[in-house]
């Protein structure tokens, strides 16, 4: 201890548990509570930050991340998902080497318990968001877009997947083609036994072919496991000399660069759509996406769907009312649920005809476009007032990236930013209408497959759990 003071980070939480071992074994104390309650959580944080094995491997992971960042195109956002982030030991090592203007880091854990602490700890970094994510469940119904990340990070968290192969395949599916996985994994159970050995989750399920007694996976098993589960390219680091060689390692793996992103969500990967959906293209250029989105919503259980051009109703609330009610023909699907919720999704696009050259300049054109959009939004809100109260009335505005969100959003269509503000005002004035805003970066080059992929991402966002009320941004891989 005298020569190695950092080991106190290991000994202190272990001693805390061992002192209470009889009460734990008698079932009088819950070991998980004892690891998390009061000062114990701080001890756990110190363990993941300061324990020499954690520190060494977190630094190795940081050095590898520096290389990834150095090779990353300067104009491309870097979308990172950390799973099982817990007290944030690995996060703290990685954040300083990320480019704040381009990085988007989603910090997750299966338990919401860790999110507040992480938010306080990483308050200086404004490119993080904090959510729950369970490696044991399908990502899409949890609101995580398949192919939506460039890098998946995990500090001693991958092995928490109960069915490890299914969990790794889920992780691979979350990555864009050629996406990276950067993981630090402990392999040796003996070192962790005094800390976590009294938890049921420390022990492997009987008969698990990838594990021995404990839930951790042997160093030499990882490469084959990752290759089998969607990561054909990988390197594994670690101390290959001393007696601790097999204790832990860092794994850097990639999904296949040519893996096609799923153009069509599998039925179980998308939560079911409810009620009536009207998907409206502001301009002719957006009609293919409106139609593809409506078709997907139809396939995923919407009671009725309609794709329309905004010019059909213009700024007349009565015409919007007809669209919302489905009075005019042209609806697809009619599953007898017209009393259910109604959702209007409005896709903004470039004007059908370029504005005539005028002396007023682009500023005046942007004002004119914004005024017209405000009138359309108002007409939709008024139309909602004319139809009977339903269980839900939603208005979803889909813009191109406009610069309204913090970096790394790029201002592809800056005039769309004004409508973000308009929708907030509308939400205040029409409190019975739920509003959402989605910034959708389109897949390029535009082609049928690109429209299908964009519709897929959009539908996943539209059907994400209702709790998600904050503005959303979805990007192409
Ligand atoms: C060994 S700890 C990792 C510690 C963390 N990376 C750190 O540096 O503080 C494992 C973490 O995985 C989380 N976890 C457990 N089961 C999970 C699951 N099914 N999906 C995602 N995370 C899970 C736990 O809540 C815990 O925070």
For the beta carbon of residue 165, count every other beta carbon within 10 angstroms: 14
* 267-474 and 5-254 share a CATH fold: yes
Give the DSSP H or E segment for 106.
strand 103-109
pTM (2 d.p.):
0.60
C-alpha 135 – ligand 1 centre gap (Å):
9
Q: Is 83 in the pocket of ligand 1 (CB under 6 A)?
A: yes
Average pLDDT across the chain, whole number: 83
Is 222 in contact with 211 (CB distance < 8 Å)?
A: no
> What is residue 476's predicted lDDT score, i.e. its pLDDT?
35
Residue 471 predicted with pLDDT over 70: no
Q: Is 135 in the pocket of ligand 1 (CB under 6 A)?
A: yes
What average pLDDT does this structure show over 181-194?
89
Give the confidence band of 2 by pLDDT, cuts at 50, 70, 90: low
Sheet with strand 472-474: strands edge to edge:
304-309, 276-281, 342-347, 393-399, 434-440, 472-474
> What is residue 280's predicted lDDT score, i.e. its pLDDT?
95
> What is residue 43's predicted lDDT score, i.e. its pLDDT?
79
CA distance 313 to 200: 60
CA distance 281 to 345: 8
Greater confidence (41 vs 90) lies with: 90
CATH class of the domain whose range is 267-474: alpha beta
Residue 367 predicted with pLDDT over 90: no
Give the confidence band of 122 by pLDDT, cuts at 50, 70, 90: very high
C-alpha 109 – ligand 1 centre gap (Å):
6
Give the DSSP H or E segment for 67.
helix 52-71
Greater confidence (178 vs 259) lies with: 178
- Rounded to 10 deg, the angle between the 8-19 and 39-50 helix axes is 140
CA distance 338 to 342: 9
> What is residue 264's predicted lDDT score, i.e. its pLDDT?
44
The string of pLDDT tens digits covering residues 414-464 is 888 888 888 888 888 888 888 888 888 887 666 777 788 788 888 888 887
Q: Give me the percent of the chain exceeding a pLDDT of 70.
A: 84
What average pLDDT does this structure show over 6-23?
75
Fold observed for domain 5-254: Rossmann fold (3.40.50)
Closest-CA residue to 400 (of 379, 380, 420) = 420
Residue 297 predicted with pLDDT over 60: yes
> What is residue 128's predicted lDDT score, i.e. its pLDDT?
92
Residue 265 predicted with pLDDT over 50: no
CA distance 107 to 129: 6
Give the DSSP H or E segment for 186.
strand 175-186
Is 85 in contact with 109 (CB distance < 8 Å)?
A: yes
Tabulate helix, strand, coil % of the chain (nearest 5). Answer: 40, 20, 40
The string of pLDDT tens digits covering residues 307-366 is 999 999 999 999 999 888 887 655 555 444 456 788 999 999 987 776 565 556 667 788
Q: Candidates 85, 86, 153, 154: which one to mutate for ligand 1, based on the most atoms within 8 Å of Cβ?
A: 86
The string of pLDDT tens digits covering residues 231-261 is 999 999 876 666 667 789 999 999 998 655 4
CA-angle at 466, arms to 463 and 470, nearest 5°: 100
Q: Which residue has the tokens 């009075």?
A: 327
Domain boundaries, the chain: 5-254, 267-474
Q: Is 435 in the pocket of ligand 1 (CB under 6 A)?
A: no
Nearest-CA residue for ligand 1 atom 10 is 157
Q: Rounded to an integer, what is the distance from CA 222 to the centroid of its chain?
A: 25
Greater confidence (401 vs 474) lies with: 401
Closest-CA residue to 62 (of 186, 182, 235) = 182
């Amino acid at each position: 201890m005298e020569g190695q003071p950092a080991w106190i980070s290991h000994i202190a939480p272990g001693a805390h548990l061992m002192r209470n071992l009889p009460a734990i074994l008698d079932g009088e104390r819950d070991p998980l509570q004892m690891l998390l309650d009061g000062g114990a959580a701080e001890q756990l944080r110190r363990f993941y930050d300061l324990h020499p094995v954690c520190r060494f491997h977190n630094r190795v992971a940081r050095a590898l991340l520096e290389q990834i960042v150095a090779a990353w195109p300067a104009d491309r956002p870097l979308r990172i998902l950390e799973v099982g982030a817990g007290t944030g030991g690995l996060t703290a090592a990685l954040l300083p080497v990320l480019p704040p203007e381009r990085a988007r880091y989603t910090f997750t854990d299966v338990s919401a318990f860790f999110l507040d602490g992480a938010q306080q700890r990483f308050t200086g970094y404004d490119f993080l968001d904090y959510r729950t994510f369970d490696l044991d469940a399908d990502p899409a119904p949890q609101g995580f877009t398949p192919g939506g990340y460039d890098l998946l990070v995990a500090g001693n968290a991958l092995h928490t997947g109960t069915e490890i192969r299914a969990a790794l395949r889920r992780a691979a599916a979350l990555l864009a083609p050629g996406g990276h996985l950067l993981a630090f994994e402990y392999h040796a159970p003996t070192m962790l036994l005094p800390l976590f050995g009294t938890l049921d989750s420390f022990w492997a399920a009987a008969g698990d072919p990838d594990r021995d007694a404990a839930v951790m996976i042997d160093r030499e098993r990882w490469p084959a496991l990752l290759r089998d589960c969607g990561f054909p390219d990988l390197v594994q680091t670690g101390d290959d000399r001393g007696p601790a060689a097999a204790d832990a390692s860092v794994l850097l793996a990639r999904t296949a660069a040519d893996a096609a992103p799923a153009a069509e969500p599998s039925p179980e990967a998308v939560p079911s759509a409810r009620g009536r959906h009207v998907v409206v293209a502001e301009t002719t250029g957006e009609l293919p996406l409106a139609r593809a989105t409506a078709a997907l919503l139809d396939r995923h259980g919407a009671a009725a769907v309609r794709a329309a051009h905004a010019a059909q109703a213009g700024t007349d609330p009565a015409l919007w009312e007809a669209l919302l009610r489905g009075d005019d023909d042209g609806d697809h699907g009619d599953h007898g649920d017209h009393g259910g919720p109604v959702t209007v999704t409005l896709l903004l696009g470039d004007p059908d005809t370029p504005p005539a050259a005028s002396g007023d300049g682009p500023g005046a054109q942007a004002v004119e476009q914004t005024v017209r959009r405000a009138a359309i939004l108002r007409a939709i809100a008024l139309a909602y007032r004319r139809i009977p109260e339903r269980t839900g009335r939603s208005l979803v505005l889909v813009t191109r990236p406009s610069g309204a969100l913090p970096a790394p959003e790029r201002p592809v269509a800056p005039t769309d930013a004004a409508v973000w503000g308009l929708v907030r005002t509308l939400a205040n004035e029409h409190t019975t209408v739920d509003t959402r805003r989605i910034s959708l970066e389109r897949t390029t080059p535009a082609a049928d497959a690109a429209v299908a992929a964009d519709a897929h991402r959009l539908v996943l966002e539209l059907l994400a759990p209702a709790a998600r009320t904050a503005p959303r941004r979805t990007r192409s891989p």
